[in-house]
Structure 1
């Protein structure tokens, strides 16, 4: 257990430091916004670019790994919708927003730092494989479902066009696509450029963790306790449990099995709130679930690491 805490506690201590710095006024909200712009538009895209450029595609893309993780995402999405309709007694649009919050795990800002500390940088290939599809998959499912249940607006085709534009301009997606292009073409990066990108990438995870803590200050827990409990239960319990069972059923090897379960155990990501805010549905549930889920994941992620 001490070994597990040695992996998780430094990560959450950095998040806590960011939270305290903003809460006590030592770091302003504007400064946090600037830090998050740097991490999400520059540093993390550089990290993903290098990871995909160096990924062994013959070993990294295992359909069983993707099936294990993303079948769980679909189950969580459906569970969120069903729980909202049947237990919370809310409408279909709220149900889609809650389902999205249960499905969208914080695979990058939280998952990568914990995985790196637990297994080392050399074992991250299956983690990057999952991350490469994560935003596109979740937004495609969420936007499609929301546009189906909405009356009016741009309709399904308009919603899909919107998500296409969002993904095309998403820095993380651009980093993944460019990295895959370099990988597939076999073009080497010039030495100075490779070193420069590597230097920026090294700053990605610690800066992102500190910034995440600062961002969480604005997501104050308020109201909708049952909805928050529903999302956190789905994200922190159902998803990793499903990934565990499916991974065993499909006979995943140890490295991809660990990647699927550990990333599935991550708390809801900030995009859970952003999706809810875009559509104006279940916004308080989405925001509070990010904060409370991240706090609760100190224990739940440690549990799954101990089991793994």
Structure 2
């Protein structure tokens, strides 16, 4: 059980997790939502704060975590396989289901990303820090890299093939260029290289990175709330419902099966993998839909509905996993 909740009576364990771990994290999302709805922050606030998080604060956090990690800490093949394979399987099965129903491949790729793209960057870091402590930050970083790099690249390649814009070589070149420019991928890579070859950061540089990294989690959560507050058209509820169920139930269930039964991970690492898989849909699919001019209402709806429902599902999962660890 999370350290902050160990003194609670066993019968109140779920309420302990809810009030001590889950609600403070999602409360920041609610603060962003309220700020936008009340008019305290303008229509461009979500975009600008998201830019700050993605290009400055979150890269600083990822660099700091990886620069302090040892190669032994990064040696987590079972965790990588359990989280990565579950994400890929949910993505592929959603794309296949959508194609069988006659959907365009480009749109099927976005729906698959909806069902598999866990919001590790914005919610995973503060939630796991509160629930599991600082030791969880390295596996959370690995999961973030798998999500924003491997899964995103897979969806981007399928979307490009669906649009048929150029040959295979041109498509792969565009995917590679997109990943090479992604600060959420570049920053942890630089951090790992620095941990291997660089000297300790000078005190001033360390303080600068720490201040910037400290802003990542609260700003990311408020930015998500600002995004969710924007009015949008009503999406297709049938497709949305299936994607949300796959995201909040299917992905964590498959991750648990792989982590617990196939790769035999320790209970604590299994719990982290499952909670990360159970996170709601991140904003990456919405950004991709806007970039390619695809209908984004369903994507935004998936982010909103899965985020709201995940307050309950994550509370239940945290209570179960931490009590059984």
TM-score, scaled relative to structure 1: 0.93
Equivalent residue, structure 1, for 2:184: 172
Residues 292 and 155 (structure 1 numbering): CA distance in 2 closer, same or farther, change over 3 Å?
farther
Partner SS state of residue 29, structure 1: coil
Counting matched residue pairs gives 306
Answering whether residue 68 of structure 2 is matched by residue 54 of structure 1, we say: yes
State how far apart, in whole Å, the 2-side matches of 1:133 and 1:30 are: 29
**Contact 1:221/1:292 (8 A) holds in 2:** no
Q: CA deviation at 1:188?
A: 1.5
**Superimposed CA distance per residue, residues 182-235 of structure 1 (whole angstroms, 9 cap, x where no aligned partner):** 112142111110111111111111111111101112263613101111211111
Residues 124 and 187 (structure 1 numbering): CA distance in 2 closer, same or farther, change over 3 Å?
same
Q: Identify which range, 46-55 or 91-100, moves more after superposition.
A: 91-100
Equivalent residue, structure 2, for 1:34: 48
**Contact 2:115/2:247 (8 A) holds in 1:** yes
State how far apart, in whole Å, the 2-side matches of 1:169 and 1:66 are: 23
Residues 245 and 277 (structure 1 numbering): CA distance in 2 closer, same or farther, change over 3 Å?
same
Partner SS state of residue 230, structure 2: coil
State how far apart, in whole Å, the 2-side matches of 1:221 and 1:2 are: 35
Q: Counterparts of 1:7-18 in structure 2 under 5 Å?
A: 7-18=21-32
2:123 to 97, 106, 110: 110
Q: CA deviation at 1:89?
A: 4.2
Q: Identify which range, 166-175 or 88-97, moves more after superposition.
A: 88-97
Q: CA deviation at 1:61?
A: 2.5
Q: Identify which range, 57-66 or 13-22, moves more after superposition.
A: 57-66
RMSD: 1.7
State how far apart, in whole Å, the 1-side matches of 2:168 and 2:230 are: 32
**Contact 2:281/2:306 (8 A) holds in 1:** yes
**Contact 2:57/2:215 (8 A) holds in 1:** yes
TM-score, scaled relative to structure 2: 0.89
**Contact 2:45/2:226 (8 A) holds in 1:** no
Q: CA deviation at 1:14?
A: 0.9
**Contact 1:219/1:291 (8 A) holds in 2:** no
State how far apart, in whole Å, the 2-side matches of 1:126 and 1:157 are: 33
**Superimposed CA distance per residue, residues 46-74 of structure 1 (whole angstroms, 9 cap, x where no aligned partner):** 11100001112213221111110011011
State how far apart, in whole Å, the 2-side matches of 1:305 and 1:119 are: 10
State how far apart, in whole Å, the 2-side matches of 1:127 and 1:82 are: 28
**Any stretches of 5+ residues in structure 1 without a counterpart?**
none
**Contact 1:140/1:160 (8 A) holds in 2:** no
**Contact 2:33/2:227 (8 A) holds in 1:** yes
**Superimposed CA distance per residue, residues 94-146 of structure 1 (whole angstroms, 9 cap, x where no aligned partner):** 22221121121111101111101111123322212222332110122112222
Q: Identify which range, 240-249 or 33-42, moves more after superposition.
A: 33-42
